[in-house]
Amino acid sequence: MQIVKVNSIIDASRYYEYVDNGSPKQGGVKDVYFSPDRKYVVAFFRTPLDYNQKDRIKRIVTLYLENIKKGNAPDYFLQDIYRWPYDAVERDGKTGVIVPIYDSRFFFSKGYGVNDNIKGGEKVGKWFTAPSFRNKQYPLSLDSSELGDWISYFQIAISISRGVKKMHQMGLAHSDLSYNNVLVDPVTKSANIIDLDGLVVPGLFPPEVIGTADFIAPEVLRTKHLKLSDVGRILPNQRTDLHALAVLIYMYLLRRHPLRGGKIWDLDTEKDELMAMGEKALFVEHPNDKTNQVKTDQLRKWESFWGNPEKIPYTATGPYLSELFRRAFIDGLHNPMMRPIANEWETALLKTVDLIQPCSNTSCEEKWYVFDNTDKPACPFCGTPHKGTLPVADLYYKFKNDIWKPEGHRLMIYHNQYLFKWHASRKVIRNENLGPEDKKPVGYFVFHQHKWVLVNLALDGMKDLVTQQEIPRNAMVELTSGGKILLSNEEGGRLLYITITNL
C-alpha cells in the first residue's frame, strides 16, 4: 500500500494522489484507484493511448467541461447527472482521468433479499431493467427496499434524457449509452451517466466502440461487416444515441427489451442475433406486424409478468410516451432521422408524470400508474380499480382576448397533489433551469368534506370563471365538471378546465 502522487498534464501545477494497493478496481478498459480522501478516483487506461485519444481526453476535461460550467444549470449537470472527468494525468506512459467519486446512493445498501452477495455493489441499470430481479419467486430477487416505485423510473429516465440532451447540444455523441454506463438509484430517484471519457466528437474523433449489445442501433449492426473506410459503414453518432436512449427508457419503464421477441431469423444463433437487432429489427409490440411478438409460453417463469407485453403493453406509459415509442421503434427504427430527440423524451416523461395516479392498494409494488383514459380506470400492475371520483384538469392558454386554446397537457388530480408554477404559467418551463423559488408549490388539490377542492397558496388573480368569483391566496375553490379556473391573471397564466370522471 502506497500513496502515489501524479501531476496534471493540463496544468503541471495541479497534482492528485491515489492509494495503490496493488489491486485496482478493474473496469472494461481502465484500472481505478481511489484518492486517500475518497473524493475522486484516478482511472488509468490499461493500454497507452494514441495521440488522437489523448487529445480527445484533454478536450473532454477542458473545453467540454468548461462548456458545461459556463452553460445553464452547471451544478445540476455536474453533480446530479454526470460523473464528468475533470483532469488528466500520466504515469509510466499511461493516461489517467480524474473523476469525482460516485455518490453512496449508487451502491446497494442491501442488494439481494436473501444474502449480502451484492451489498455495496454498483447499481448499474441492468439490475432494474430485467424482469427476474423484481420477481419475488426468483431465488435471488432484489430486496424490495431497493426497487423504488414506478415514479422512480420516470425521474431516472428524465435525468438520462437531460444528460443526453446536454451532450447533443454541445455537439457530442455518447456512442456507448447502455445500462452499464448509467448508475441508477430508484430509492432517491436518481441517475448518473458514467464512463464519459469515450465521448465522440462527430467529424473530429471517430468512435472506438460500436456500443453494447441490446443498445446498438440497427444501422450500425447492419453495416458492421463493412470496413471502417467504407462510406456505407455507419458508426455511433447522435442518432444512434437516440436509439439507445429510447431502448433505455422502454426498459426502465417496462423491464423488457423492445426488440427481443419470438421471431427466429436464422438457425445460427449469432446470425439470428445480428439480424434481430440489425437489419430485421422489429418492435415486439408492433400493432400491425405481429411477426416478432413475444412467445409467452417460452418465457421463463420469473419473466412472465414484465416479460409479457400483453400484461403491461407499452401503452400503459400513457399517450405522450406511447407516441414516442412508436416513433422510435416503428417509424424511426430503420429511419434514424425519425427518432425522437432527447428533449422530446424529457417533455413527454414530464407530461406523463402529470397523468399519474396513486394506486389505492397500499401493497401495490409500483404504487403509481398512468390514467388510461377509460371510464373504469384500474391499476395495470395489481388490478385494483380506482376508488371514488377522478377529477381531470386540462390546461389551456390564452390565444387572444377571450379565446383559449388547449395545451395538449392534462393533469390528473389526486388527494394531496400539488400544483406548481409550471402548470400555472406558460412562462415557467419545467426543466433543469428551475430555481428553488420555482419549485415551491403554488396550490394543492384535496378531497375535502366529500368535495374536490383546489387551495390557492401563492397565485395572484386566480378566478372561477363560471361564478366570476376571485380566489385569493389561502382560499379554495370547489372543482366541478365543466369548471373553468383561471390560475393567474399574469401574462402566460393558464386556465384549468375540469372534468370529473368515474362518477
Q: Which cell numbers in the block locate residue 443?
A: 396550490
Query: Side chain identity at 114, as an amino acid letter?
Result: V
Can you tell me which of 87, 197, 303, 346 binds other proteins, judged by CB under 8 A? 303
- What is the spatial distance between Cα 406 and Cα 99, in angstroms, rounded to a whole number? 46
Can you tell me which of 85, 96, 211, 332 binds other proteins, judged by CB under 8 A? 211
Task: Tell me which stretch binds other proteins (CB under 8 A): 1-9, 60-68, 266-274, 441-449.
Answer: 266-274
Taking CB under 8 A as the rule, does residue 314 contact other proteins? no
- What is the spatial distance between Cα 368 and Cα 383, in angstroms, rounded to a whole number? 12
Taking CB under 8 A as the rule, does residue 127 contact other proteins? yes
Can you tell me which of 11, 28, 75, 406 binds other proteins, judged by CB under 8 A? 28
Taking CB under 8 A as the rule, does residue 218 contact other proteins? no
- Phi and psi of 185, rounded to 5°? -135, 100
- x-or-dash pattern for other proteins, window 165-204, by CB under 8 A? -----------x-x-x-----------------x------
Taking CB under 8 A as the rule, does residue 437 contact other proteins? no
Quote the Cα angle for 205-206-210, to 5°: 140
Assign 134 to helix, strand or coil. helix
Output 21 or 335, the one with its CB closest to other proteins: 21
Task: Tell me which stretch binds other proteins (CB under 8 A): 97-105, 293-301, 391-399, 423-431.
Answer: 293-301
CB distance 66 to 128 below 8 Å: no
Output 130 or 254, the one with its CB closest to other proteins: 130
Task: Tell me which stretch binds other proteins (CB under 8 A): 11-19, 76-84, 270-278, 467-475.
Answer: 270-278
Output 216 or 479, the one with its CB closest to other proteins: 216
Taking CB under 8 A as the rule, does residue 261 contact other proteins? yes
- Phi and psi of 215, rounded to 5°? -120, -5
- Phi and psi of 357, rounded to 5°? -120, 145
H or E element, residue 161: helix 150-169
Taking CB under 8 A as the rule, does residue 26 contact other proteins? yes
CB distance 376 to 385 below 8 Å: yes
Assign 356 to helix, strand or coil. strand
Query: Side chain identity at 155, as an amino acid letter?
Result: Q
How far CA 223 is from CA of 231, 238, 240, 415, in Å, comes to 10, 17, 13, 53
Count of positions on this chain that bind other proteins (CB under 8 A):
50
- Per CB under 8 A, which of residues 133..152 are in contact with other proteins? 133, 138-140
Output 68 or 259, the one with its CB closest to other proteins: 259
Q: Which cell numbers in the block locate residue 87?
A: 483532469
Output 5 or 311, the one with its CB closest to other proteins: 311
Q: What is the DSSP letter of 37?
A: T
Taking CB under 8 A as the rule, does residue 273 contact other proteins? yes
- What is the spatial distance between Cα 50 and Cα 285, in angstroms, rounded to a whole number? 44
Output 237 or 357, the one with its CB closest to other proteins: 237
How far CA 152 is from CA of 156, 157, 366, 373, in Å, comes to 6, 9, 9, 23
Task: Tell me which stretch binds other proteins (CB under 8 A): 65-73, 300-308, 348-356, 398-406.
Answer: 300-308
Taking CB under 8 A as the rule, does residue 163 contact other proteins? no
CB distance 252 to 214 below 8 Å: no
Can you tell me which of 101, 187, 209, 457 binds other proteins, judged by CB under 8 A? 209
Which positions lie near other proteins, rule CB under 8 A? Answer: 26, 28, 46, 117-118, 121, 124, 126-127, 130, 132-133, 138-140, 176, 178, 180, 198, 206-213, 216, 224, 228, 235, 257, 260-262, 264, 266-270, 272-273, 294-295, 298-300, 303, 307
